[in-house]
Each structure stands twice: as structure tokens, then as C-alpha cells.
A = this chain, B = another copy of it.
Amino acid sequence: MMTFPVLFVFCLIFSSSYAAVQDFCVANYTAPQSPAGYFCKNPANVTVDDFVYTGLEVAGNASKINKVRLNTAFVSQFPGLNGLGLSLARADLAVGGSIPLHTHHGATEIILVAEGTVVLGFIDSNNKVYLKTLNKGDILVIPPGLLHFQVNGGNSPALEFAFFSSADPGVQILENSLFLSNLPTELIAQTTFLDTAQIKKLKGFLGGTN
């Protein structure tokens, strides 16, 4: 009978003993989220491995376009971050590589350069540009929500780590929002002042429709 597997999952979720003291709330990915994050895994079943993440040991998937490999350790990958307001990521920038203009919805970001040279820029609400070439060991903080980008500023690969003041900071990349989406060309033109030909060229390149 079909109901057994469902009930089995159900019982795991609603087992009756919850530890009296909550020092942490490791994410339980089998249930929906609340505005404050995922449900807590039963503390009795939590082990140190819930607080460890090894996925940042290596670079992320390659992007042919930008010569950058991004790899994230957000709460959706790393359950120990749930409810703790922190996350991180790594970026491997090949020579000539860049992370295009983007924002994180409201999270502050700290960049730490681990290898090579990175040119980092951000722009504030008064259209003032903050531009800096960072070397190994340098750190830079980007105030929350501002548009920013990184480019490899040297002749060798660069590696940087980014730390965020949110367990799920989001990454909104401008070029993808505009040219990989189905936002109609005429609305893009009207709200960015870009030429229609430019928009269509980039949509063709990135895969956007309409």
C-alpha cells in the first residue's frame, strides 16, 4: 500500500524527542523552509559532520564565457549554517577571467584574495566608483546590496574566498537577469536605454528569450 513510505518519512520528521537546549539548528532538507531558514534536524542525530563542509576544496564548474569557476557553501549545501547568518564561496578566476556585475540581496560580503591579483570594483547609490587592485592576503568589504564585480588583474590564475552576512545571500548577475531570462526586449530597452540590437545580440549569446 502506497501510504507506508510517506508515513515513514513523516515519522522521521515528527519524532517526538527534541533536545531541551538548542545551541544550533542544523538544516533538515526534507521539509519546507520558514522565513528564518530550514527546520532543525533533531539535535540527537547531529554530528560534527553537519558542521563541516569539504565542497570548497575544489573549484566550481567552469563557465566558458567568463573564465571563472564559482563554488558556493550556502545553507542549501552546508546544513550547519542554518540560522547562523553566515556563508561563503570561492571563485577561481583564470587569466582574463571575471565575475560579472552582480548583487547579493542585502548581504555584506568580504573578499579575501588567496592567490594572484584581483581588481575589485563596487558602485554606491551616488554613482561613486570604488576600485582596488588586491593582492594575496588582502581583504575588502563590500557594503550590503551594492553592485560589484571582480576581474583577474594579473597574469596568473587568481583564487578568492568570499564571506557573506547571510546563510543564503543569493547572487543576482546582471547579464543573466537581463539576457538569460525571458524579460521582453522592449522592456529591457525602455528600462536600461540599451539599443535593441545590443540586447538581441546578448540574448542570442546568453540564451534569453522574448
Q: A-side interface residues toward B, CB under 8 Å? A: 3, 6-7, 9-11, 13-14, 16, 18-25, 28-42, 47-49, 51-54, 56-58, 65, 73-74, 76-78, 80-86, 88, 98-101, 103-108, 110, 112, 114, 119, 121, 123-132, 134-147, 149, 151, 161, 163, 165, 168, 170-172, 174-183, 187, 190-195, 198, 201-202, 205-206
Contact = CB atoms under 8 A, between A and B. Distances in A.
A34 to B, nearest CB: 4
26 contacts: A10-B10, A18-B76, A21-B124, A22-B33, A32-B39, A33-B39, A34-B36, A34-B38, A51-B132, A52-B140, A53-B138, A53-B140, A53-B141, A57-B136, A100-B191, A105-B125, A105-B143, A106-B144, A127-B180, A146-B172, A179-B193, A193-B202, A193-B205, A194-B194, A194-B198, A195-B201
A104 B141 contact: no
Contact of A35 (B3, B37, B101, B138): B37
Contact of A18 (B29, B137, B182): B29
Nearest to A130: B48
Contacts of A49: 132
A57 B49 CA distance: 30
Given A42-B32, A123-B183, A23 B191 contact: no
A37 to B, nearest CB: 4
